[in-house]
Amino acid sequence: MKNVYFLAIPVIIGLIIGFSFISNEDNSDQKSNLLNKEKLLENTPPIIGDVDAKITILEFGDYQCTFCYKFHQQTLEKIKESYIDTGKVNYTYKDFPLNGLDSILAAEASFCANEQGKYWEYHDTIFNNWAGERTGWITSNSLLDFAEQNKLNVNEFTECVNNHKYTQKVIENQKFAENIGINATPSFLIFNDEKLVRVIGAQPIEKFVDAIQQIN
């Protein structure tokens, strides 16, 4: 599913993949004000790719989400090869922890890893060790093990996680997502300075190619 928006304009123009219609929808001032590049990139980890790339892919995900895992295993690398590594697109991530406290804890741990410059390495390690939704695989011990795998300072990491230093940041990202109408993971906003396309679900690479073409 895909929606096309024009940023910072009160009216949303929606184009849904699989349907041949364009619809105008009323949009609250709050939602419109949030759909700008500065707000969309607030509280995100370091961008992957050229920070000056004209197009950004922002993923809203949950570390326990089955289809988030499938996207990371099946599609993200193809996007990197074709668009991120070539400087056409950059990519970043916001937590949308729909699967509860374990997902929040994993998100917090990722930001703790970011303090040591290893957000993305830690992020990838979590997904590479994915073991289902709400199955109990995300624990303090497993998160510590992931830190050790990435050669983090485990004392600093453990203190950060145990103090829940980034809980508020994770919750703020979740509330932000809800305020702009995100209600599923993974969800993607693909945008430049003028337009935004929404893609929902672990879609194949062809859907992302189509969305990027809509932006260009």
Task: Specify the pLDDT at position 3.
Answer: 52
Contact present, 8 and 29 (Cβ < 8 Å): no
Which residue is it, tokens 């624990």? 139
Alpha-carbon span 35 to 19, nearest angstrom: 24
Task: Specify the pLDDT at position 35.
Answer: 84
Q: What is the largest CA-CA distance in the chain?
A: 55
The SS3 assignment for 198 reads: strand
Sign of the CA dihedral running 134, 96, 144, 47: positive
Residues lower than pLDDT 70 in the chain: 1-32
Task: Specify the pLDDT at position 34.
Answer: 76
Domain-by-domain residue ranges, the chain?
2-215
Task: Specify the pLDDT at position 15.
Answer: 32
Instruction: Out of 3.40.30.10, 3.40.720.10, 1.10.10.60, 2.40.160.40, select the CATH number for domain 2-215.
Output: 3.40.30.10
Rounded to 10 degrees, what is the CA torsion of 63, 68, 72, 74? 150
Alpha-carbon span 21 to 14, nearest angstrom: 8
Task: Specify the pLDDT at position 29.
Answer: 55
Q: Please give the structure tokens belonging to residue 88.
A: 């056409």
Task: Specify the pLDDT at position 32.
Answer: 60
Alpha-carbon span 213 to 33, nearest angstrom: 25
Task: Specify the pLDDT at position 137.
Answer: 98
Alpha-carbon span 182 to 97, nearest angstrom: 12
Per residue in 30-55, pLDDT (tens digit) is 566 778 899 999 999 999 999 999 99
Task: Specify the pLDDT at position 18.
Answer: 26
